[in-house]
Structure 1
Amino acid sequence: MRVAVVGAGIGGLAAASGLQRAGAEVIVLEQAARFLPRGSGLSLFSNGFAALRSLGLEEPVRAVLAEGPPSVPIGTMRADGTMLAAFAPATVADLRVIDRTDLHRALLSGLAPDTVRPGIRVEGLSSGTLDLGPSGLLEDAHVIVGADGIRSRVRGSHAGDPGAAYCGYGAWRGITDTPVVLPDGGETFGRGERFGYMPLRDGRVYWFAVRPSQADDLPEPGELHERYGAWHDPIPEILAATDLSRAGYQPTERLAHPLRTYSRGQATLVGDAAHAMPPTLGQGANLALEDAAVLVSLLRPLASDPDPREVPARLSAYDKARRPRTQRIARQAHLLGAAGQWDSPGVAFARDLALRLAPDRLLDRAFRLPQRWSPPD
């Protein structure tokens, strides 16, 4: 079976590796000419590790992770340092925070040489043919996997593409240049602002800072000190330990509307191309890995003995397996992100009071439910 994966992100590389291991002939088309360090991190949970295990990728990823979960309390705080809600140790027992660049390298290591073709931009998809612009056309793929993010050209070629919607806020993301000793971890709420931080395996800290903004804002890094410099420790130390000129800022977006289907004919979508959501629950990468694991499981019987007539039915089964779960989690992430951005003093006070008075198990439940997932047999 010949498979063309569009996009060399987490979902695309994971799907490519799994299908290649199953015996498929795979190419990955990536518009970037070369891969650069991202300077950001992400969370992996038990469902993400279950997907990696199913794909045969857990070992190389574990090799670049801390052996255990963060050794500090994890929860939600107020800007003055008051703990509003704390996660039970069991909720974060499988949590590992990884430098996105390290994860990318680990996934690349599972692919045969020359699988990834950099510097190729897909312009669109029509009748099973990928338009590669100056590079020509690609017509002979049995399966096309759109793993090309929220502005997916594969998804955009289908009628009914909802496009991206701005969430009303953006975020800086960075990693400290040196280790920082953390007394805790998690996320701090202000009024319309948030700051989160978690340790990496080598003591450096991955952090993010969220602010309300217009979609086209390009804030200066100096604004970080103005907004968060007086927040509780260790936030000022984290900022001081980071070269802020290298901190990336992006508007936060999601799909404007849920898709009616992830699959059409011989093409299907994974990751942000299918269900882009705010990073509130830390599940974006995990769901992309789940997508890859389910897709590989369904296509494995065709990998070395393809029957083009069976492909649409297999991809339809993938859609039915993935769409309800991913869209439910996307809705939850959007609602939680919106609540975190409340800037009215009275409303923000009520939110914080509710978090402080509510049993911690309610917050635990919100983060445990997405982790309850097993790959198909």
Structure 2
Amino acid sequence: MTAARTPSTPRAPAARAASLADVAALADVSTGTVSRVLSRPDMISEPTRLRVMAAVEQLGYVANGTARALAMRRTMTVGAIVPRFGSSSFPALIQALETTLAAGGYTLLLSAPEPRATGDTAILRTLLERGVDAVALLGAEQPPQVLAMLGASHTPFVCMWAPPDATGSSIGFDEQAAAVLVVEHLCALGHRSLGYIGGRTADSERARRRLRDLKLAMAERSLALHGDAVVETEHGFREGFEAMQAIARREPPVSAIVCGSDYLAAGALAALDQAGIEVPRRLSVASFNDNDFAPYLHPPLTTVHLPIREIGEQAGRQLLARLGAGSAAAPVALPVRLMERASTGPVPR
């Protein structure tokens, strides 16, 4: 005997999303007024704007981004490609970039991949296919394929943390000046033989520039970089701790260690404290970045203040200017300064 089928319960029709006309009706204004409130609120009186926004909130209205993009021929988005953060200063840079763009009405789409292989354009292609209006990149050493793709699509772009050049597309600071500040400070304290803990030069143009500029500044002042006191690693607390442990075991004849970042320096200071090596009486430690935690380490860290947030802000202003949403002067090298604290002192006798 065949069992009788139970009639299926008809599905309730999905609730219709609120439309622009619904908002206009509730606020007792025209659809054009609603549109202007959402796109150009400065053109509308404050009482009308508040009434429209109250209707938007009450109805949960969300503008049709696709339709708006077609009408404006813009998506009001900017793409950024910044290789994985890890323990780095990039979050501060990205936050400043996003805040600046948001003030101009743009949304940031961020990709934080593993360091890409040379010539890999897959992530950029994806961002361009999503219709981003502009792109922010990290570093000056961009593959030719990336620059060719941006040129072919006529997409404005800037390179952050890159030495400013005549094109106006690079936003950064003078790396050589930063290196000189550290080296001159240690030289004035009597140090002549130094060690270094920094990023992997094979993976990062920033690590290559930092080590190169340190070596140049040292050579000009007759300081030596001791090979047994040089470690390349990832930027992180643990990595700095382990690198300093390795250097301490070798007991190289150095009186100061320069770290490529405050994260590495924090780990190095912890390793020295654990080993009973007093800083700065027996070994000085200096670094770069001036992260928020640098003054609160033990001892407080001598470091070069780099304009990390300012790079993000200036990059945002440059992109907005190229998109016609603001104005910005041609980029110049942002200033750096030495924050002298208790982790450096005179060379031990």
Task: Output the TM-score relative to the length of structure 2.
Answer: 0.30
- Larger RCO: 1 or 2 (CA < 8 Å, sep 6+): 1
Larger Rg: 2
Which is strand-richer, 1 or 2? 1
